[in-house]
Amino acid sequence: MSKTRIDALSPGTFLLDGQEVEFGPGDTVLQAATSAGHYIPHLCWHPDFSANGSCRLCTVKVNGRSGAACTVQAASGQNIESNTDELNAQRKTVLQMLFIEGNHFCPSCEKSGKCLLQATAYEMGMEGPHFEEFYPNRRVDASHPDLLLDLNRCILCSLCVRASAEVDGKNVFAIDGHGIQTHLVVNSPSGKLADSALKPNDTAANICPVGAILHKRIGFATPYGQRRFDISPISQQVEEDAP
């Protein structure tokens, strides 16, 4: 077993933007940083599920080499850069591409103020889409009596896929296709949500970080000014949630 692997399985510390961060056995860089109250931008990572590394927003430099913080194992002696002009510019570009690739009309979206994509764009100082919008015409599935699936807002984070498989044990969702044709699919005879095993209280029905999966008849229940990211920006919430 290599020394790097042994270090990753043992507790220790690494440097994150010049600050010492403790990590536990098996922690990734993002897990350790978040636990310590340090914000690294991300969209597809959730502490309760296996890492996917699909959005690449959490890309950092580890001893000068790029890697996804959600998948890179923490190891003693690492010098990790995250909050730099170069990396934040890359993140802003990724966010701009996500906005123009789908249909994200924040002022009219029920998830506004509670949306991870929107909050991260604010955090990164994104002021506009920069690129020409695609405005693709994607399927909206309103067949389910309690849930709405709007693929125009899906960012392919696969959180619902992992939640359905790892927590709910139903495998309701999957990612299919390649390149620009990549899309979320529903595991049912008709391909519609109504014919799937998804229930309103399933983790997969409540994990979406954007407005792709919504509960019907409860939209805009939280007044403006009282929504999650109205109260404080996402980076501050990571600091507040740290033990």
Q: For 64-106, how does the pLDDT look when each residue is reduced to its tens digit (9 = 90+)?
A: 999 999 999 999 999 999 999 999 999 999 999 999 988 888 9
The whole-number pLDDT of residue 103 equals: 87
pLDDT value, residue 8 = 53
Q: What is the second-level CATH architecture of the domain 140-215?
A: 2-Layer Sandwich (3.30)
**β-bridge mates for residue 71, sequence order:** none
Quote the pLDDT of residue 1: 42
Band (122; pLDDT cuts 50, 70, 90): very high
CA 87 to chain CA centroid, Å, is: 17
Handedness of CA 129, 224, 58, 162 (dihedral sign): negative
Confidence of residue 27 (pLDDT cuts 50, 70, 90): very high
3-83 and 140-215 agree in CATH topology: no
Q: Is the pLDDT of residue 6 over 70?
A: no
Q: Rounded distance, CA 239 to CA 220, Å?
A: 27
The rounded distance, in Å, linking the Cα atoms of 23 and 76 is: 9
Domain boundaries, the chain: 3-83, 140-215
Q: Hey, CA dihedral for 83, 88, 90, 94, is it positive or negative?
A: positive
Residue ranges with strand state E in the chain: 12-16, 19-23, 59-62, 65-68, 79-81, 140-141, 147-150, 173-176, 183-186, 213-215
In this structure, the number of other CB atoms found within 10 A of the CB of residue 46 comes to 19
Angle between helices 234-241 and 116-123 (to 10 degrees): 100
Give the residues across from 184 on adjacent strands: 175
End-to-end C-alpha distance for the chain, whole angstroms: 33
- 64-82 burial, b for 16+ CB within 10 Å, e for fewer? eeebbbbebbbbeebebbb
pLDDT at 71: 96
The confidence score (pLDDT) of residue 24 equals: 95
Over residues 175-193, the pLDDT tens digits come to: 999 888 899 999 999 999 9
Edge-to-edge order in the sheet of strand 147-150: 140-141, 147-150, 213-215
Determine the Cα–Cα distance for residues 117 and 112; give it in Å rounded to an integer.
Answer: 10
| DSSP bridge partners of 73 | 28
Q: What is the pTM for the complete model shown?
A: 0.92
Q: Class of the 3-83 domain?
A: alpha beta
Average pLDDT of the segment spanning 180-207:
96
Q: Specify the higher pLDDT residue, 224 or 94.
A: 94
